[in-house]
Chains A and B, each alone.
Chain A
Amino acid sequence: MRIHFKTSYEHDIRLFQDRWTLGVYAALLALAFALPYLIDEFYLGEVTNVLIWAIAGLGLMLLTGQTGQASLGHAAFLAVGCYTNTILIEQGLPFVIAFPLAGVITGVIGTIVAIPALRLHGIYLAIATIALSILADDIIVLMEPWTGGVSGKFPEMITIFGFEIERWTMPSRFYYLVLVVTICCTLFYRNLLRSPLGRAFAAVRDSEVSATAMGVHIARTKATAFGLSCMITGWAGALMGYYAGTFNNETFSIVISITLLMMIVIGGLGSIHGAFFGAVVVAFLPQALSILKDGLVGGGVAIPGLETGVFGMILILFILFEPMGIYGRWLKIRIWLELFPFARKDMFRRQKSYLKTERLR
């Protein structure tokens, strides 16, 4: 068991609590950079996919896990990021400008959309944002000259100062690009968490009245969260476009929105780890299922809705038995190991110690 003797406030401010944690993450980073030399191109592609989903997960996590605002409209922002990036590059902007800008534009659009939507709470907000997912499809078709409508678009090859990156022919270069974006987004997220704004997000999530009483402007904070969330989501969308190689009005459907939300719930709401754990599940579940299915009923047999069904079931099981998601479970296992053999059986039992009323207090 590790015991922290904190000797300065810096202990709680810096990125890594102690040498051990720093070591673990340094090793993880080294492994991530060495990965193209360790696994073959197929699996590298899969890992790239996980990272892209993780970025999208971070985007939604900031809004839902951190600020407590559910959204079923984030596929629309994936689309905005993806199309904006492609169009900007077609207009002649270099990737190093177009890509960051695509995220920023998505963020601005997200903020504008958020202002009316954020008057709604909880399930009502979720329902309202569904409309975004549905509208996105129509808007893409309507804006055919820009978006290519139903026939879709192919993103151009990425060039960064003459250095070419292509998902199929140079998977390791594309992997590194995605990895760098992942690291940047994770750092942004972490930095926000340890700053006043990140705490204001949590304050809005947990109690709007007392956040207000502490001087937090609720609507502005929510809109900021929405904007930042959409910015990260926009970057994920742009990368998804490159990863898929082609996209049209149906690529970013409502199903993607639902998958994203389920992903962060399964991963563990309110944590960076949760976005990554959830991404692993989302990215590998289809593969795992098809391998299982082939083994059980033989290949070639199609079971419609199998993936969605299993995914939904996993979600329900998590909500019932582990509302903190995979990250929550992971924490418990870690604490259990650290305390071994002193862990007590009911240590993690949730306790209700007082009643909350709905009235304004």
Chain B
Amino acid sequence: MSLLEINNATLKFGGVVAVNDLSFSVEEGEVYAIVGPNGAGKSTVFNLISRFYEPFAGKFTFDGQNLLDREPDEVADLGIARTFQNIELFDHATVLQNLLVGRHRHRKTTLLEEMFFAPRVRREEHRHREAVEEVIDFLDLQPYRNKMIAGLPYGVRKVVELGRALASGPRLLLLDEPASGLSVEETQDMRWWIDDIRKQMGITVLMVEHDMGLVSGVSDRVLALADGAKLAEGTPAEVQSNPAVIEAYLGAGAA
């Protein structure tokens, strides 16, 4: 059984068919990439998995459970974490606080305990902090730990957002264009991190990415999307050499 299974998903925005009868599945432990031109519906697929949008039709199954039974805030509880194409951090908080919000799904303490900062709250805080520190070490975020997001460079924010998703201890990580806007070196770092996330942490990764170098470097399988529908699926090499994909990217006649 696949970790994530999407069957015949369709979503329309007014007249625009953003996702059109799309089916694919992500196996446990793999890195699965979605590529496609702008407006192909890649981010919309992520937002469907996050339950931000209600699909018109389709089945969404995560680890055998029906995703459509879940509220948007319950998706994290299942072990699905994500980043956003345009970085959605908590700007008026520090890096540490941002990462700690990632731990929210592990919150065990009640309002009353927190108001009085009961011993259990303190114990839990230590535990959350330990988990977050592991992520900070992994992503080399030590210099930024107590910095406000609002003053950080773009590249660092991208990493913090990845860190926040990792801090939640997910089984499936959704990365929406993790390398967009990054420099060549930063993209390299991102590549090693994604590799390690899969190999060391055993987290399954579903990502949207334009950088074909990164995609072929880290992913096991690639899905090419155009106008919300599946164009091709296979290994990076297979998809890159697929005539329909080349045509979608370069326009008619170029193939």
Binding site for B on A (CB under 8 A): 9-10, 12-13, 188, 191-192, 194-200, 202-203, 205-207, 209-218, 224, 228, 270, 350-351, 353-354, 356-357, 359-361
Contacts and interface: CB of A to CB of B under 8 A. Distances in A.
Interface in B131-164: 133, 150-154, 157, 164
A281 to B, nearest CB: 23
Contacts of B244: none
B52 interface: yes
Query: Closest 6 interchain pairs by CB?
Result: A215-B76, A195-B114, A215-B105, A210-B88, A206-B90, A191-B117
Interface of B is mostly: helix
Given A9-B129, A213-B81, A195 B89 contact: no
B168 interface: yes
Contact of A215 (B104, B121, B151, B157): B104
Contacts of A194: 117, 125
5 contacts: A196-B109, A206-B93, A213-B88, A214-B164, A215-B75
Nearest to A9: B129
Given A13-B122, A217-B71, A353-B153, A211 B115 contact: no
B199 interface: no
Contacts of A207: 88-91
A197 B93 contact: no
Contacts of A203: 90, 93, 101, 104
B92 A215 contact: no
B121 A195 contact: yes
Contacts of B114: 191-192, 195-198
B162 to A, nearest CB: 13
B104 A199 contact: yes
B76 A213 contact: yes
Contacts of B90: 202-203, 205-207, 210-211
Contacts of B193: none
Interface residues of B, number: 56
Interface of B: 43, 47, 50, 52, 71-77, 81-82, 84-93, 96-97, 100-105, 107, 109, 111, 114-117, 121-122, 124-126, 128-130, 133, 150-154, 157, 164, 168, 176
A191 B115 contact: yes
A213 B76 CA distance: 6
* Interface core residue of A9, A199, A351, A357 (most chain B CB under 10 Å): A199
A200 B50 CA distance: 18
Given A13-B126, A200-B104, A360-B47, A213 B82 contact: yes
Given A192-B114, A212-B50, 16 more contacts: A10-B126, A194-B125, A195-B121, A196-B107, A202-B93, A205-B90, A209-B52, A209-B88, A210-B164, A213-B76, A213-B84, A214-B105, A215-B74, A216-B104, A361-B43, A361-B176
